[in-house]
Amino acid sequence: MATFYDQIGQNRRNSVLLSLAVIVLLGALGLFIGWAVTGDPAYALPSTGIAIAVGLVASLLSYYLGDSLVLASSGAKEVTEQSQPQLINVVREMAIAANVPMPRVYLIDDTAPNAFATGRDPQHASVAITIGLLQKLDREELQGVMAHELSHVRNYDIRFSLMVGVLVGSIALLADFFLRFTFWGGGRRSSSRDRGSGGGGVQIVIFAIAILLAIIAPIMARLVQLAVSRQREYMADASGVELTRNPVGLERALAKIALDTEPLEAANRATQHLYFENPMKGVSDRKSDLFSTHPPVLDRINRLRALAGSPPVAQPAMVLDPRAQATLGGS
């Protein structure tokens, strides 16, 4: 039986490999664009380095401001122990268990149950919780959600996801620049120059590869980004169980949030990947959906049940109503 340590190790390896794939894709795009635009392979390596450097610099700049922007766009308001004693107590418990500093705690005035963590490192972390989460979850379930979110903090998932996101954005910008450059005649001038110097055949091939990469690279990078996001969710679930030693609370929280049909108005497509569960209720939850920011809830629940040695369930509602499981088993 797989332990949460096995799951954490596997998901960490998968996330690193996927992130390296984004960097390689950015470098490849820079290489072929540099070669295609200049017509000289000697410029390919410098353009590759510039492409990667721009992506990394953009990542470093953005994560210093990213948490403030996310909290502001969500309408989150900071709370204290005087205004929300139980919430602060639960967050403090999980912060101690995770061995991270106490994060700043924010409340979102929305009755849809959800939460997210943000910040560039454990020393500058914040957690935001909706009013609906406090109203609809009991203490054990709230502990599970907070353990999951503080696992994101402890595992540096927020920094990790933000950097990958900016790299993906850099790929899209670089591809868009090249396609516009080609459309306005830059490619034709480059090809004509190379035919005059005798390297037309090779240059046409390189230019075709560059155009193809510019079209498919943003799509591929986005798919990799979403795959990274799903892996980090699995990892935070496993780490959350490590903190609480109780997969049932997290399992029940997942089921309750998944079954709640109310959309989270404070969320948008730019921030949906940060939340405990996908707040965009219209998004498909099928396992085959490559464009989902979160793993299927049922898959997450059954992974948690496997950690506890419990049999899998066929639907989230069975977690909350054992009679449904018994009826299904006897039918």
In the chain, DSSP assigns E strands to 77-78, 104-108, 115-119, 125-130
Q: Look-up: residue for tokens 């390689």?
A: 24
Q: Are 212 and 275 in contact (CB under 8 A)?
A: no
pLDDT (0 to 100) of residue 99 = 93
Which is nearest to 285 in space by CA: 296, 301, 293? 296
For residue 305, what are its two tokens? 């049940």
Sign for the CA dihedral angle at 64, 13, 315, 90 comes to negative
* Structure-token pair, residue 30: 């820079």
Q: Residue 37 has which token pair?
A: 């635009």
**Which residue is it, tokens 């957690």?**
127
| CA–CA dist 253, 316 (Å, integer) | 10
* CB of 149 closer than 8 Å to CB of 115: yes
The string of pLDDT tens digits covering residues 118-160 is 988 889 999 999 999 999 999 999 999 999 999 999 988 877 7
Q: Is the pLDDT of residue 329 over 50?
A: no
**Rounded to an integer, what distance in angstroms lies between the CA atom of residue 161 and that of residue 275?**
12
The pLDDT score that the predictor gives to residue 2 is 55
pLDDT at 4: 54
As a CATH number, domain 71-157+230-330 is 3.30.2010.10
Smallest Cα–Cα separation from 291: which of 222, 217, 213? 222
Sign, Cα dihedral of 235, 98, 154, 150:
positive
Residues paired with residue 128 on neighbouring β-strands, in sequence order: 106, 116
CA distances from 129 to 42, 57, 135, 138 (A): 53, 31, 11, 14
Out of 70-74, 166-170, 250-254, least confident range:
166-170
- Dump pLDDT digits (tens) for 30-64: 888 777 777 777 767 787 777 777 777 776 676 67
Instruction: For residues 285-300, give the mean pLDDT.
Output: 75
Q: Which of 25-39, 51-65, 87-101, 168-182 has the highest mean pLDDT?
A: 87-101
For residue 163, the cross-strand partners are none
In this predicted structure, what is the pLDDT of residue 182? 72
Q: Is 149 a catalytic residue?
A: yes
Identify which of 59, 52, 54 has the alpha carbon closest to the alpha carbon of residue 26.
Answer: 52
Say what the pLDDT of residue 326 is.
Answer: 46
Give me the catalytic one of 93, 141, 149, 262: 149
Q: Is the pLDDT of residue 323 over 70?
A: no
185 has pLDDT over 50:
yes
Average pLDDT estimate for 179-198: 57
* Domain layout of the chain by residue ranges: 4-64+159-222, 71-157+230-330
Question: What pTM does this model have?
Answer: 0.75
